[in-house]
Amino acid sequence: MSYIYLVPIATKSVFWLEPLAAGIFREFGMHAKCAKCSIEISPAFDPLRQQYNSSYLLGELLAQPLADADKVLGIAEVDLFIPILTFVFGEAQLDGPGAIVSMHRLNNTFYGMPENNTLLVQRIVKESIHELGHTFGLLHCSSPGCVLNTSTYVEDIDQKSDALCRQCQKQLPAM
């Protein structure tokens, strides 16, 4: 039996673990497990941008293979970027083994608003399922409610559901 591993990266707590594992099982029919990895994040830090290179962290995450892992999803509290973009909510390997999600811009406090943990967990679940969907070979979906719909603002994430639309479900490989 293989699992989807959830790997906290530089995070204080895993308050999101249970709802995320439930969402993953609902959408992909696979069990999720939490794994602790010792990833050194400082080399990924860009002092000019005050952000962490997402591709570097994803590479580090995959450099520590887990025996029964089908997919690995890193969940970081730090702000992530790729060189061409100002920030990313997450990064995934299309039809590949790994993905990474940042909670930094999913948190209301980033936008100067009061903390809302319920909303934060919903956003983490949606963004994680979105990135994991890519690892299963799914592309962005034009259906507005689908979790694979592209999101460039946090408001876009709030607008969509945490589930795959029927069309995307059909495209999932049999598991």
Partner 1 sequence: MKPSDIGILIVDDEASVRDALSKLFKFDGYRVDTAEDATIALQKLQDNLWDIVLLDIKMPGMDGIELQRRIKQIDKSIITIIITAFASVDTSIQALKEGAFDYIVKPVDPDDMSHLIRTACEHRRLIYENMQLRQQIEEISFPEEIVGESPALKKVMDKVATVAQTDSTVMIRGESGTGKELIARALHSNSNRRYFPIITINCGAYTEGLLESELFGHEKGAFTGALYRRRGKLEMADKGTIFLDEIGNIGHKMQMDLLRVIETREFTRLGGDNLINVDFRIICATNRDLEKAVREGSFREDLYYRLNVFSITLPPLRERKSDIALIARFFIKKYAQAMNKNVSDLSPETMEVLMRYEWPGNVRELRNVIERAIVVARGSVIEAGDLSFPFPATAHTTDEDSLEDVEKSHIQKMLDRTGGNIAQAATILKISRLTLYNKIEKYRLKK
Contact footprint for partner 1 (CB under 8 A): 49, 55, 81-88, 91, 94, 134, 139-140, 150, 152-153
The nearest distance, CB 82 to partner 1, in angstroms, is 4
The nearest distance, CB 63 to partner 1, in angstroms, is 17
The nearest distance, CB 5 to partner 1, in angstroms, is 22
Q: Which is nearer to partner 1, 91 or 162 (CB)?
A: 91
Distance CA 162, CA 129 (A): 7
For strands 90-92 and 98-102, give the pairing. antiparallel
Clarify whether 27 is annotated catalytic: no
Q: Which is nearer to partner 1, 51 or 122 (CB)?
A: 51
Distance CA 141, CA 158 (A): 16
Q: Which is nearer to partner 1, 3 or 56 (CB)?
A: 56
Token digits for 2? 């293989």
Q: Which is nearer to partner 1, 21 or 154 (CB)?
A: 154
Distance CA 129, CA 26 (A): 10
The nearest distance, CB 72 to partner 1, in angstroms, is 17
The values of phi and psi at residue 28, to 5°, are -115, -5
8-state DSSP, 157: H
8-state DSSP, 77: S
Distance CA 19, CA 13 (A): 14
Residues with catalytic function: 131
